[in-house]
């Protein structure tokens, strides 16, 4: 939440703890996950993205996120996660940089128009955030805090 799902979707390999439940809450405040949507959809698929975006008030478990491909690894503790991060960083540091660059290109095939797409999506979000519905929803959220 608060951009975490978008960040996890924008990386090639995400490692989390078993407490990393997720949700896309944008629709609950009158907008939608338009800006992060392309990255989330690329990572977990259209069906899982649709479910996550539409059911904007429900949390999905870390296990759900791993099954959908958002997380590559899930660990029971921060210490175990840190060990996994170190192991992966060490492996990557000893990998062929040309092979890694070529792999990244294949991972992100079909995203060549994202600069334009993200501008379009940001414009949609900007318009919606100015709507009366969204202003009221945000004010209700602020009143709870």
Q: Is 3 helix (H, G, I), strand (E, B) or coil?
A: coil
CA distance 49 to 70: 11
CA distance 75 to 56: 26
- In order along its 145 residues, the chain shows pLDDT tens digits of 568 999 999 999 999 999 999 999 999 888 999 999 999 999 999 999 999 999 999 999 999 999 999 999 999 999 999 999 999 999 999 999 999 999 999 999 888 898 999 899 999 998 998 889 988 888 887 888 6
CA distance 74 to 6: 17
Q: Which helix (H) or strand (E) holds 56?
A: none
R_g (Cα) of the chain, nearest Å: 17
Domains along the chain? 4-144 (3.90.226.10)
CA distance 28 to 31: 7
59 Rama class: left (phi>0) / alpha (psi -120 to 50) / beta: beta
DSSP string, 89-131: HHHHHTS-HHHHHHHHHHHTTT-TTHHHHHHHHHHHHHHHHTS
CA distance 142 to 106: 43
């Amino acid at each position: 939440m608060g951009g975490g799902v978008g960040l996890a979707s924008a990386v090639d390999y995400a490692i989390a703890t078993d407490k990393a439940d997720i949700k896309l809450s944008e629709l609950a405040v009158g907008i939608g996950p338009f800006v992060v949507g392309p990255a989330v959809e690329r990572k977990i698929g259209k069906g899982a993205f649709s479910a996550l975006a539409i059911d904007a008030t429900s949390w999905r478990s870390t296990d759900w996120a791993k099954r959908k491909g958002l997380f590559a690894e899930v660990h029971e503790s921060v210490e175990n996660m840190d060990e996994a991060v170190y192991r992966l960083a060490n492996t990557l540091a000893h990998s062929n940089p040309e092979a890694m660059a070529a792999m990244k290109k294949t991972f992100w095939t079909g995203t060549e128009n994202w600069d334009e797409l993200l501008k379009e999506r940001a414009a949609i979000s900007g318009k919606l955030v100015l709507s009366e519905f969204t202003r009221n929803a945000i004010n209700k959220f602020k009143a709870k805090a």
